[in-house]
Chains A and B, each alone.
Chain A
Amino acid sequence: MTVEHSGGTGTPEPATVRPAAGDPTDTAPTDGAQPEDLNKGPRRVLATLYGIFALAAVSRAGVQISTRFDDAPLAYSLSLLSGLVYVAATVGLTTTRSWSRPLAWTACAVELVGVLVIGTLSLLDKAAFPHDTVWSRFGSGYLFIPVILPLLGLGWLFATRHRGEVPTQVAES
C-alpha cells in the first residue's frame, strides 16, 4: 500500500505552503482547505453521515412499523418520513445530475424544519409523542446529530452555491 508514508510523524507543514491537490494518484497529505476540496471532501463526509442516518432511520422505521405500528402510528410514520428525507439527501449529495443540488437543498431544509417542529412538539406535547422518533427532543437519542446534520448540509450547499455544476472529477463517488 502506498499510503504508509503519509502517516509519518514530524513532517512540518507550514500553513503557507500547501501541497498541490487534485491528482487522485497523489497520496501525499493534502490540505483540506483547498478550494477544490471544499466541494469534494466535505461532500463525501456529508454523504457518509447522511448515508448512515438514512440506513438507521429507515431500519428503525421498518422494525417499528412491521412489529408494532398500532402502538404509535404518528411517531412511526414520522420515523419513516425522516428516513426517506435522509435517503433523499444522500442521493442528492452522491449524484451529480442537474436535480442533485435542488434535491439536497430540499431534503436538508425539510429535515431542519422537521427536527425543529418535531423536537419542539415532543417537548411541549409529550402525550402526542409517547414513542420516540429520530427527531424527538431534537435528536437527543442520537447525540443531537439530527439537528446538527441539516445545518452542516445547508452550510455546505450555501458555501458551494456559486460553483454551479459539481466538478466532473467527483462523479466517480
Chain B
Amino acid sequence: MITPLAMTLLGIGLLLAAWTGLQAYRRRPANAPQIVTAIALTAALAVQSVIGWFRMTADIPHDRVTFIAYSIGILLPLPLGIWVARLERTRWGSIALCFTAVVVAVMTLRLHQLWQAGS
C-alpha cells in the first residue's frame, strides 16, 4: 500500500459517488464519462491491490488473510455497479453506481487501516 495512492483513490471514489448521486437527483441515467471514470477507478484499484501484494512482508499487514480478502473484494463492487448502470438506463442505475462507489471508498479506507495496523 502507498498512502498517497490510497487517499487519491478514496477521493476519486467519493467524487464519483457525489457525481452519480447528483445524476440520480437529476433523474438521469449514468452517463459515459461516469462509466469511464468507474472503469478507470477499477483498474487503478487493481494496480493498488497488486502493489499491496508485492509489498507485503512478514509483519505487514498484521492480518494478512483479511487484507488479501479486502484487496480482492474491493475489485468487485464497481464492475457490478457499472453493469447495473448500463442495464438500468434510468436514475436507478445512477443510484446503483453511486452506492458501489461509496462502498469502494470505504473499503479503500479499511484496506489502508489494515495495512497501517501492521506497520
Binding site for B on A (CB under 8 A): 1, 3-4, 6-7, 13, 21, 24, 26-27, 29-32, 37, 40-42, 44-45, 48-49, 51-52, 55-56, 59, 62-63, 66-67, 143, 172-173
B99 lies within 8 A of A6 (CB)? no
A52 adjacent to B29 (CB under 8 Å): no
- Residues of chain B with a CB closer than 8 A to A32's CB: 24, 27, 90-92
- 22 A-B pairs within 8 Å (CB atoms) are namely A1-B32, A3-B29, A3-B30, A6-B29, A6-B89, A7-B23, A7-B28, A24-B89, A30-B27, A31-B91, A32-B91, A40-B88, A41-B91, A41-B92, A44-B88, A44-B96, A45-B84, A48-B84, A52-B76, A52-B77, A52-B80, A63-B69
Q: How many chain B residues touch the partner (CB < 8 A)?
A: 33
B31 — which chain A residues lie within 8 A by C-beta?
3-4, 6-7
Kindly supply a per-residue 1/0 record for chain B positions 70-84, scoring 1 wherever the CB is within 8 Å of any chain A CB and 0 otherwise: 000100110011001
Q: Cβ of A37: which chain B residues have Cβ within 8 Å of it?
A: 90, 92
Report the separation of the CA atoms of residues A173 and B103 in the bound assembly, to the nearest whole angstrom: 22
List chain B positions with a Cβ less than 8 A from chain A. 23-24, 27-35, 65-66, 69, 73, 76-77, 80-81, 84, 87-93, 95-96, 99-100, 103, 106
Main secondary structure of the interface of A (DSSP, over half): helix
Selected contact of A6 from candidates B24, B28, B80, B95, CB within 8 Å: B28
Q: Which residues of B contact A13 (CB under 8 A)?
A: 27
| B65 interface neighbour in A26, A63, A173, Cβ under 8 Å | A63
A7 near B27 with CB under 8 A, answer no
A114 smallest CB distance to B (angstroms)? 21
Pick from A7, A30, A48, A172: contact of B90, CB below 8 A: A30
